[in-house]
Amino acid sequence: MLRRTIAAIGIAAVLAVTGCASAAPERRDTGIAMFQWTWDAIAAECPTLGEAGVAWVLTSPPQEHVDGASVGTGSDGSEWWWSYQPVSYRVESRLGTRDELAAMTAACDEAGVDVYADAVINHMAGVGSGTGWAGTPFEHYRYPSTGGAAVYDRADFHDCDRTPDDDIDAYREPFVIQHCELEDLADLATESEHVRATIGAYLDDLLSLGVDGFRIDAAKHIDPDDVAAIVAALPEGTPVISEVIRGAGEPVQPEQYTAFSTVWEFGWAERVGAFVHDGSARALADLSPASYGLLEEQARTFIVNHDTERNDATLSYRDGAELSAATAVMLASDDGMPTLYSGYAFSDRDQGPQLEPDGSVSDASCTGEEHPDVVAGDGWADRAWVCQHRWPGTLGLVAWRSRVVDAPLTAVEAHTRDGMLGAAVSYARGSTGLAVVNVSEHRLVLAVPTALPDGMYCDAARPGCVRIGVEDGEAGIALEPWQAVAIDRFTRP
């Protein structure tokens, strides 16, 4: 369901900014997870993303979820995870209405950006009773029909009968992982034809509203055969990403889901972040998907997502310039299809985004006026929109990647200076492009080998046309701490 892979207006805008002498071929494969962004805010951002060569955006869950203030747990309903507790499959949430979602997908389509929805189909809500955001009353294991929404009763849920509360108590057996409850969330019997049909109707409804693809939330907790059956019922070619966190020694692994979907490699994100933090350029130069057991064709890479930034498993916005450098490594590498992340600041892992008086989420703002110095990585007020995808250089690197990604990666090399502190890693794509990332807090001046023809080039990671010279097969590059530089044969002054 990829409706548009190249937007002519986006190509023209990128060429105008970089001062290209000739039109470049373009293939888009970079996405952005826009965590807790409203439909209106995504719609407003899509023209900028399309111009930069972003292929797709991932929304937070669009279905009706628990109104946290209605369940009597002392919650004020502001926590982010209420979005992941479905009450019905009505497309009404605190992120926007059904009509607003349809308007957003149309706006993004016009900009050449596809929309993937976060599909929560492993479970329903995890509280005893309450009311949904759109007014649907519910009880645990009973979710009555409202306005044509799903009907589930006790028979539609697993009863694993392994622990007193039916919760997952250990990750030793596939049965426990995929039939017991994840923190009391009512676990759907996805082997049931009725459950599969109900989920399928929901996904088809989202497709009818212009959604192009899906992230299957908590796919690790659904039997691969069940996910495969649900995916098989979608229109052929619908992009699907299964969320399967790799755990050492665990029986459920990402490879079990790659026959019918792509998967993110969490181990890659953890290692890249650690290597950048430690300035380990040599380790970065030796990265490959095979190092983490993942089939390369089905790999998707990322540096941070909404879970890992809350459990300190990867770098986060608080790491400032280190996160920018790691993002540049991801965009320059050839280890999988990259996913950026854009969220908000928090001091408590449960903290949700800024809300309006009616409880709906406030539209994200990426003007930069209210944001601190991203290089420092601190000073963020709780709930402020961090807009990591707008940090200096990031969208320029996305545009650079779209121009060079089809050129083979011919060399990945670590660079250190004898007798000096500092290290960098370079990515050469033959005579098509070159990227260099400083993974240290020291300024570096390097002569980097390249097959690009001699002459001057514009740095794609900086606005305007900051010139980089190539002479006798070497690019002369000065790098500030954590800075990235990227040039290609289409960015000649």
Q: How far is CA 289 from CA 11, 198, 292, 474, 489, in A?
A: 30, 36, 6, 29, 28
Mean pLDDT over residues 444-462, rounded?
97
Average pLDDT over residues 17-26: 58
pLDDT digits (tens, 9 = 90+) for 393-433: 999 999 999 999 999 999 999 998 765 668 999 999 999 99
Cα 363 to Cα 347: distance, rounded to the nearest angstrom? 20
Average pLDDT over residues 80-102: 97
Under a CB-based contact definition with an 8 Å cutoff, are residues 116 and 31 in contact? yes
pTM for this predicted structure:
0.93
Q: For the beta carbon of residue 208, count every other beta carbon within 10 angstroms.
A: 9
- Please report which helix (H) or strand (E) contains residue 199, including its range: helix 193-208
What's residue 75's pLDDT? 77
Tokens of 196: 């599969």
Q: What's the pLDDT tens digit per position in 350-404?
A: 999 999 999 999 999 887 554 556 666 667 889 999 999 999 999 999 999 999 9
Range among 66-75, 120-129, 415-424 rated most confident: 120-129
Quick one: which of 461, 455, 419 has its CA closest to 438? 461
Instruction: Give 479's strand partners.
Output: 444
- Among residues 8, 9, 14, 3, which one has the least CA distance to residue 403? 14
For residue 69, name the pLDDT band (cuts at 50, 70, 90).
confident
Please say if the pLDDT value at position 305 is more than 60. Answer: yes
Question: Is a pLDDT exceeding 80 seen at residue 463?
Answer: yes
What pLDDT, on the 0 to 100 scale, is given for residue 148? Answer: 54
Angle at which helices 321-332 and 394-404 pack, to 10 degrees?
Answer: 10
pLDDT at 8 over 60: no
Tokens at residue 96, please? Answer: 């926007």
Comparing 264-268, 404-408, 452-456, the range with the smallest average pLDDT is 264-268
- With H, G, I as helix, E, B as strand and everything else as coil, classify residue 299: strand
Here the tokens at position 100 are: 């607003």
- Res 22: pLDDT: 56
What is the DSSP secondary structure assignment for residue 114, as one 8-state letter? Answer: E
| 217 part of the active site | yes
User: What local confidence, expressed as pLDDT, does residue 5 receive?
Assistant: 29
Taking residues 152-181, report their average pLDDT: 92
Instruction: Determine the pLDDT at residue 287.
Output: 81
**Residue that wins the pLDDT comparison between 17 and 344:** 344
* H or E element, residue 414: strand 411-416
- Report whether pLDDT(16) > 50: no
Q: Where are the beta strands (DSSP E) in 247-311?
A: 262-264, 299-302
pLDDT at 144 over 90: no
Confidence band, pLDDT 50/70/90 cuts, at residue 68: confident
Q: At what angle do helices 39-52 and 98-110 cross, to 10 degrees?
A: 10
Q: What percent of the chain has pLDDT over 90?
A: 79
Q: What does the alpha-carbon distance between residue 50 and residue 54 come to, in Å, rounded to a whole number?
A: 6
pLDDT of 196 higher than 60? yes
Q: Which residue has the higher pLDDT, 265 or 101?
A: 101
Active-site position among 217, 223, 265, 459: 217
Could you tell me which residue, 9 or 236, shows the higher pLDDT?
236
pLDDT of residue 416: 84
Q: What is the mean pLDDT of residues 56-68?
A: 96
Q: Cβ neighbours of residue 148 under 8 Å, at least 6 residues apart?
A: none
* Percent of the chain surpassing pLDDT 70: 89
Report the sign of the C-alpha dihedral through residues 386, 94, 263, 400, in that order.
Answer: negative
Tokens representing residue 459 in the block:
């740095």
Q: Which range is least confidently modeled, 44-48, 218-222, 246-250?
A: 246-250
CB 337 within 8 A of CB 279: no
Mean pLDDT of the chain: 90
Give the integer Cα–Cα distance in Å for 257 and 243.
9
How many angstroms separate the CA atoms of 153 and 55, rounded?
Answer: 39
Query: Which tokens is 293 given?
Result: 């057991």
Positive or negative torsion for Cα 439, 440, 442, 444: negative
From first CA to last CA, the distance across the chain in angstroms is: 38
More confidently predicted of 77 and 91: 91
Beta bridge partners of 337: 300
Catalytic site residue from 118, 166, 243, 488? 243
